[in-house]
Chains A and B, each alone.
Chain A
Amino acid sequence: MRELDTAKISEAVASLCIEANHRLEESTKECISRRACQEDWAPAKAVLDIIEENIAIAEEGEFPLCQDTGMACVFIDLGQEVHLTGGLLEDAVNEGVRRGYTEGYLRKSIVADPLRRTNTGDNTPADLVVRMVAGDRVKITVAPKGFGSENMSQIRMLPPSAGQKGVEDFVVSVCEKAGANPCPPIVVGVGIGGNFNKSALLAKRALLTPLDQANPDSYYADMEERLLERINGLGIGPQGFGGRTTALKVSILCAPTHIAGLPVAVNINCHVSRHAEAVL
């Protein structure tokens, strides 16, 4: 059994919070650059150029990519052969978020109660999802999630008879209704199957997929392509000013479901599609 002090997890989470808020993953940057080159509608091109300028400024480390530095969504793949010492995992993750958001001058956007709305002051608690996996490593992914796009997300419990077309129509309708609100160009995470909660989690996890990576199942890879084409055919464009580039990517994850159900969740992310990972 490998021992790992949870203080190491706090340290890693703190630095990942800061990194994710200043630097986009390579595949995301490449995708935005490529779309900027392909965009021939002038207002759309102008927006994408400013987005690229913003990415370059944020990488200098002085200003985060977006003022909404998000709710800290933390995904941990915990190897079964790791024995954590030094305190609770959840406490360690929250300590990391507290330190990252304070020392990194990131915005504290979490309120302690959804209706009474007092800010917790340190961006905790994190949204922590732990998955037990084989091995003796701990993989930590921090994905700060802004709420301009989160608020445009939807879930629908479709009847199985809705089938593939019903799923695709729903995904496109969510993106059309979102319009300019979620800061397009967007990244679309789709969770199909499972149950009510599982589909939502799949949709969120789908947003971690690198933008140059298709679903390994060609049936779903084709669906991702088809959906991207339909969404970009809406003409909403960057920031909703019109244009070809409404979405950068559609990523689908699915899971077994019940004979009576076809849950579909659509989690929208903005072009500042942030995630950073470390393996301990």
Chain B
Amino acid sequence: MEYILKEPFSKEALREFRAGDQVRITGTIYTARDAAHKRITEMIAKGEEPPFEIEGSIIYYVGPTPAKPGNPIGSAGPTTSYRMDAYAPKLLDLGQLMMIGKGQRSPEVAEAALRNGAVYAAAIGGAAAVMARCVKSAEVIAFPDLGAEAVRRIYVEDLPVTIVLDTHGGNLYEEGRAAYLAQVKEEAK
């Protein structure tokens, strides 16, 4: 199925999605990858305010290339998500709605997403120029010393993602492969 997800984002809307669905996102989301996740979770542990409201947020795991003059951002495809696995359950428990990245997640992340009604979506790794064109504005809001890894507030239009972990326990990486192999087996009969 194909869906459009627009602000204001809510957990209710996520319940419709199933693993394998394609969703185009329009609205304000945040970028954070390895170093930013480490700092954000440290701030939370110390009782400090994180750079953006975690509850209700969509976080895109990306470290873009520098923006050329006249562009809001450079190339902006997803980075591999498992490196955020150590930090993600904490943020999901605080109400994060969606993680966007690519690649497998740990059982702990899958469980945290499921108990909180959050989803994990994959953007296409290595299609960074396509994704860059969906970013209409970008602003560094925290950790500018981290360069590409700084936290940015970005406004995206029709950002294409595929649901990997849905709110019903579905997992595209398991189901997609199994379905394809079942079809191959069927054809061989």
Contacts and interface: CB of A to CB of B under 8 A. Distances in A.
Contact of B176 (A50, A105, A121, A240): A240
Most buried by A among B68, B71, B103: B103
Given A51-B124, A57-B129, A235-B184, A67 B176 contact: no
A193 interface: no
B86 interface: no
A172 B160 CA distance: 31
Contact of B122 (A65, A107, A151, A239): A239
A108 B124 CA distance: 21
Label chain B's interface by main secondary structure.
Answer: mixed
B74 A64 contact: yes
B24 interface: no
A236 B79 CA distance: 19
Nearest to B82: A181
A272 B20 contact: no
Given A67-B63, A67-B128, A180 B74 contact: no
A91 interface: no
Interface in A18-58: 41, 43-44, 46-47, 50-51, 53-54, 57-58
A229 to B, nearest CB: 13
B130 A68 contact: no
B102 interface: yes
B80 A151 contact: yes
Contacts of A68: 63, 77, 79, 128
B: contact size bracket: 35 or more
Given A53-B130, A54-B128, A240-B103, A66 B75 contact: yes
Contact of A43 (B20, B80, B184): B20
B180 A105 contact: no
B124 A105 contact: no
A119 interface: yes
B176 A64 contact: no
Contact of B128 (A41, A47, A64, A109): A64
Interface in B92-150: 102-104, 122, 124-130, 132-133, 146-148
Contacts of B172: 240-241
Contacts of B133: 57, 63
A106 B68 CA distance: 10
B125 A183 contact: yes
A58 B131 CA distance: 11
Given A54-B126, A106-B66, A234-B177, 4 more contacts: A63-B75, A108-B147, A241-B176, A271-B126
Interface of A: 41, 43-44, 46-47, 50-51, 53-54, 57-58, 62-69, 105-109, 117, 119, 121, 148, 151, 179-183, 234-237, 239-244, 270-272
